[in-house]
Amino acid sequence: METFLYYNKFFEESGLENNSKKNFTEQDLKALIFVFYNKQEIKKRMTTRKKLSAELFRKENSKYIENRPSLEKAILQLLEVDAFPENDPKNHQWRWVVDCLEPQVIVLCENLDCLKVPVEYKKSNIELWYVGGNNTKPLQDISADKLGLPIYYFCDWDYNGLDIYCQVKNIFKEKGKDIILIEPPKNAKKLPVTVKHHKSKWSQEKQFSGLDQSHFTIGQIEVIDSLISKDEWIEEESIDLIEYLIFACRN
């Protein structure tokens, strides 16, 4: 019910038509909601159509928005602009946050998916941060008052996701703060790294694919070694974030 009200409020406030003439998929709708509620931040760092498409629709190619004129028109309407800029801005230092009144944990997300419809996370007192893949520099400026809460990292278990986790872990280590990698369940679905639209590949020539083993537990190393040897990866969507955190807090 709360999710329905969240969607309904979006249509009431955004001015977009809520009718069957608009052929939006569920992922389109979630992306539009995210754009509407974060439009000021997006406008400040206004990026190209391809760049925004890759961030909002990571499972599609970078021309996804371009190939869906109704979707592009809706995004531009929500942003209150006429067109996307031709070139990427030089300044790529930003952080999106889904605040909640009484956060108990902070979760750094490699991907935007959790932030698109954050109702359940806010209800569970989970504060979500997204800094956009390799855009880790804003984390260096996190103030000390934010470091009192447990901080988790939520990502795909592939080379890119785990490599960024290592970078983030080093940043927080310099602040005297440890962060916790959210682990997939033992029965998590494993996908071949060659699956469509997946660009992260393991290096079979480098030990542990070049990742820093010191950042991982023995159990995590065993899982990663298995993924590397079989050329597989685990998508973050196969991990129930709220269920994981509830269990972690109880233990």
pLDDT, tens only, 56-86: 888 887 789 989 899 999 999 999 888 887 6
- Is residue 136 a contact partner of residue 155, using CB atoms and an 8 Å limit? no
- pLDDT in the model for residue 1: 66
247 or 228: whose pLDDT is higher?
228
Q: Does 46 score more than 80 pLDDT?
A: no
Q: How far apart are the two ends of the chain, measured CA to CA in Å?
A: 31
What is d(CA 134, CA 110) in angstroms, rounded to the nearest whole number?
9
Q: Looking at the predicted structure, is the pLDDT value of residue 133 above 70?
A: no
Q: Look at residue 94 and tell me whether its pLDDT is greater than 90.
A: no
Supply 147's token pair.
Answer: 């470091």
* Secondary structure of residue 65 in the 3-state scheme: coil
Give the dihedral sign, CA 138/140/141/147.
positive
Q: Specify the pLDDT at position 83.
A: 82
What is the share, in percent, of the chain residues with pLDDT greater than 90?
43
27-56 mean pLDDT: 86
Q: Nearest 5°: CA angle at 108, between 194 and 211?
A: 50
Reported as a pLDDT band with limits 50, 70 and 90, residue 157 is very high
- pLDDT, tens digit, for every residue of 3-15? 777 878 888 888 8
Residue showing tokens 């977009």: 16
Q: Quote the mean pLDDT of the chain.
A: 86
Token pair in block for residue 148: 């009192």
Checking if the pLDDT of 90 tops 50, the result is no
pLDDT reported for residue 9: 85
Q: What is the 8-class DSSP label of residue 184? A: P
- Higher-pLDDT residue of 246, 249: 246
Q: What is the pLDDT of residue 106?
A: 92
At what angle are helices 26-37 and 69-79 packed, to 10 degrees?
20
Give residue-wise pLDDT tens across range 186-241. 999 999 999 987 889 999 999 999 999 999 999 999 999 999 999 999 999 889 99
In angstroms, how far is CA 20 from the centroid of its own chain? Answer: 29
Instruction: Give the pLDDT of residue 247.
Output: 80
- Show the tokens assigned to 179: 């962060």
